[in-house]
Amino acid sequence: MGKGLSGAKIIIYPPKGARFKPEENIIIGNVALYGATTGNAYFNGIAGERFCVRNSGAKAVVEGVGDHGCEYMTGGQVIVLGETGRNFAAGMSGGVAYVYDVDGLFEKRLNKDMINLYRLVECADEDIALVKAEIEKHVGYTDSPRGKFLLENWNAELPKFFKVLPRDYERMLNAFKKVEKLGLTGDEAALAAFEENLKDLASAGGK
């Protein structure tokens, strides 16, 4: 589903009148949004394994994923409003994921080899506003009960959200912020950010 998505919007939700809880049932299969490059997706239900593998630019909201979610992801944005399977973010080198840790076990399922993990409540206001706005869109498109619950109890549930950010990607983003303050733009900014990143790597001993 959505393999190689390169634009448009995908919205999937259970049939009207369905009696099962979307946040507890799979609605799309394995390798959804594999290799997606642009576009948006809103899924009122759980995805199978290897969700958003090699995603390089699409944005998605889903209510749970199986094993190996966001594997080898290089860009884009994923918001998971529920449980993940094991090995989440393995080989993830770009993009960002936000995860609602509904059962308190997310850190045990996360592959920490290449990423930094933050509590969303401790992140910038822009991150918090972004996640809330995407959940609002998700509810608008899918009528998600889980999304409605989160919005109605936002202050209480916010501490359960995590931000997953690849370590090298974050270093490059910080380098761009530094050079932008100097007034550089375009290719000049990219080159300066690359050089700044190399300096940071050298000072950190290449780690």
Strands (E), 5-93: 6-12, 38-43, 56-62, 74-80
Over residues 137-163, mean pLDDT:
98
Spatial contact of 40 and 136, defined as CB atoms under 8 Å apart? no
Over residues 18-67, the pLDDT tens digits come to 999 999 999 999 999 999 999 999 999 999 999 999 999 999 999 999 99
Of 66-80, 106-120, 191-205, the poorest mean pLDDT is in: 191-205
Residue range 174-184: mean pLDDT, rounded: 74
Q: How many CB atoms lie within 10 A of CB 106?
A: 20
pLDDT at 170 over 60: yes
Question: Which amino acid type is present at position 106?
Answer: F
Exposure b/e, 72-93, CB count within 10 A at least 16 = b: bbbbbbbbbbbbbbebbbbbbe
In percent, how much of the chain has pLDDT > 70?
A: 90
Supply the angle between the helices 145-152 and 125-142 in degrees, to the nearest 10: 140
pLDDT at 191: 72
Rg (CA), the chain: 17
Q: Which residues contact 23 (CB under 8 A, 6 or more apart)?
A: 45, 46, 63, 64, 81, 82, 144, 145, 146
| Strand bridging mode 161-166 / 38-43 | unpaired
* Helix, strand, coil content of the chain in percent (nearest 5): 35, 25, 40
Position with higher pLDDT, 158 vs 203:
158
pLDDT in the model for residue 182: 73
Position 156 confidence tier, pLDDT thresholds 50, 70, 90: very high
Domain residues of the chain, as ranges? 6-166
Q: Tell me the CATH number of domain 6-166, given options 3.30.70.580, 2.160.20.60, 3.30.420.40, 2.40.160.40.
A: 2.160.20.60
Q: What is the pLDDT of residue 202?
A: 66
> Are residues 23 and 43 in contact, defined by beta-carbon separation less than 8 angstroms?
no
Question: Can you give the pTM of this predicted structure?
Answer: 0.89
pLDDT at site 175? 76
Mean of pLDDT over the chain? 92
Residue range 92-99: average pLDDT? Answer: 97
Using pLDDT thresholds of 50, 70 and 90, give the confidence band for residue 204.
low
